[in-house]
Structure 1
Amino acid sequence: MATGVASVWVPVDDMERAVGFYRDVLGLELTDQQPQWSELDAGGLRIGLNAREGVSQHADGGAVISFRPDDDLESEVDRLRGAGVRFTGDISDHEWGRIVPFKDSEGNDLQLYAPPKN
């Protein structure tokens, strides 16, 4: 039985660019950086940036990392757009919350998530 998520590994093409995105744009704390592997702390969840070995193909679909902004969703979208982040859709409202999809510097799917207001 799984008792929680230990870490999330994200494939990257350019380690420096990816570290810059997750650290400088998203504001996560960099805890380790090496040419082939770097780690960031996402509020207690470890995100590992794993260098592609040149043979891995980019693929649509797969895992998506959701981030909860400190501020409201619209403010965070504005902040990230100002930092050059490419959003792949608009904010969508659901009974379970609100989301907006975007890409990291390596083309991986990410999203912002805000829980429903009670």
Structure 2
Amino acid sequence: MSISISAVHVIVDDPDAAVAFYRDVLGMSVTSEVENEGFRWVTLSPPSQPGIQLVLSHPRAGRSEQDGEAIAALLAKGELGSVNLRAGDLDAVFERAASADGVEIVQEPTDQFWGVRDIALRDPAGNLVRIEQAA
């Protein structure tokens, strides 16, 4: 049996700002956009792994009003988890992110005790994005 990752969903409150971050700062490509009932889902993929999708959606998209409000509140607090990525050149990614408008740097390149060197950023919605150096 073989299982692989198909898509990871990331909740964002401003799809345009999130697309600019993941596309322009992190170098992903927009592969599709779907609109339904006033909401938009945007799918991006890293060029090196086109089969893996990062799907951006709004807290209220496809959810009840009550659930949407609860998720929006967690998003506003930065409590929806994190996105973990890997880069071939961590320093280049860090320099690009540090020079981009509106990118919050949480942690500069650091050698971690668990054996990776990584950085931490927040996307425009406040989601934590950790990027480690590829081996």
Question: Which TM-score applies when normalising by structure 1?
Answer: 0.82
- Note the C-alpha offset of 1:7: 0.8
Amino acid at match of 2:23: R
Residue ranges of structure 2 left out of the alignment (5+ in a row)? 61-67
- Residue 4 of structure 1 and its aligned partner are, at CA, apart by 2.2
Q: Quick check: 1:25 aligned with 2:47?
A: no
Aligned length: 115
Given that residues 86 and 102 in structure 1 are in contact (C-alpha distance below 8 angstroms), is that contact kept between their aligned partners in structure 2?
A: yes
1:60 positional shift: 4.2
**Which of the pair has more CA radius of gyration?**
2
Secondary structure at the residue paired with 1:4?
A: coil
Cα 1:91–1:49 shift into 2, 3 Å: same
Matches of residues 29-108 of structure 1 in structure 2 within 5 Å? 29-34=29-34, 35-42=39-46, 43=49, 44-53=51-60, 55=69, 56=71, 57=73, 58=75, 59-71=77-89, 73-84=90-101, 85-94=103-112, 96-108=115-127
- Measure, in 2, the Cα distance between the counterparts of 1:24 and 1:75: 14
Q: Per residue, is there more helix in 1 or in 2?
A: 2
Tell me which stretches of 4 or more aligned residues in structure 1 moved more than 3 Å: 59-63
> Residues 115, 16 of structure 1: CA spacing in aligned structure 2 closer, same or farther, 3 A cutoff?
closer
Unaligned runs of 5+ in 1: none
RMSD value, Cα: 2.2
What is the identity percentage for the equivalent residue pairs of Structure 1 and Structure 2? 28
| Counterpart-to-counterpart distance in 1, 2:96 and 2:8 | 24
